[in-house]
Structure 1
């Protein structure tokens, strides 16, 4: 890691942890007044995170698109920016951070435990298809993460509404109907960007390996993830899956994306994808 990258990386991780603790406190102790301050703190962490990415770019000469550490660094940034964006546009959605922040903290910690050393970009990664492929991959992961967070918020609010005396602090969040619709919209956006990601990756694979599809472990899990969310959309549109079933489905479906990005090489070390190499 570059010197300034290391400093701002840890600043971002510490600020994220403090903000996450504040959001959890807000939910557990039913004190929504804390949430706007934690959301502002989250923005500070995102700024430090951005500086860390800039420092790494300056040190390596390329954006952090390869290797587990860089993948976690950039992926976490996309999720945080997505959380800030929706929370800034609609203050009722600031509570999504209670689910996205733990995910980002674990991702960044896992990435750091791999190999955060500065390495030159591999020759196979010096192509415009890399940026198109990975950009849409992170848009998809960000959207799926927001869908998961909206599902968590939906289940929490639904549980509160069934209490004999509902906690009025949950009135701060969007209605159950609006959260249900947001889950679906996030999934649709993620599915579309996921599709573009796979198409771009196939074109890149044709140039790199001579075939559009090679049944590489990462490609296979990417297909499983894509099918999972495609089935989710089908169940919603055709069979009317909503509310609790949809919320639980998107929460569980995110595991397929995490396995694709970070879990495959725990059991397989023959992936052709350079970003999966330690």
Structure 2
């Protein structure tokens, strides 16, 4: 508990700093996101509004929808990945070097972006085993929420189940954030043209692990809160539009925070490496 009392203020301060950096200059935010982010957001909005996923539980209905919209879904996923790589590179470089160059229409799909995406996916794969715990904790809180709220009626039970699932998901994600919080700083050097450093990042971030974990958790928290509120207000369509925007802001804030951790902890302990490009 004493450690948590020390770590929590540090994580909260880091989260505020990361979001403040991202939101301080809307023009820079738009430039760094660029065309791929706008395309990704536009495609998700189009799918949500013009071609919404059916709520039917009939597999045939879902298969028909997917057959009709598979191209749009694939394009939306690809542009989202393109946007992610671009955002991480731009924000990491800006955090470490102050480099704010790069226009809105710059493609941002070179070797650095592709390697950044690859190293990020590798860090995510390392956290995959924790997803089982996420499912178990999420289900436990879902049933607990339904049972507690169910005392007030069936409709309240549904609300309790939704709130329990969100809370359980947030708690269940902590192990994944612990792992990625120690690995993602090793992605930051890729944005600078240096080799990935997941191993050195894991070895050198032990003391900062809890702070990094809580920082990632806090960065994701606004999206979870907004999602819960929108669902309770039956604003699912609006959430499908707003949710991706919050996700891209969270990606940007995460890139800033992880680059700061790399610069402060990982880089000083690592031997100098030649730039790749």
Larger RCO: Structure 1 or Structure 2 (Cα < 8 Å, ≥ 6 residues apart)? 2
TM-score by length of 2: 0.35
TM-score by length of 1: 0.35
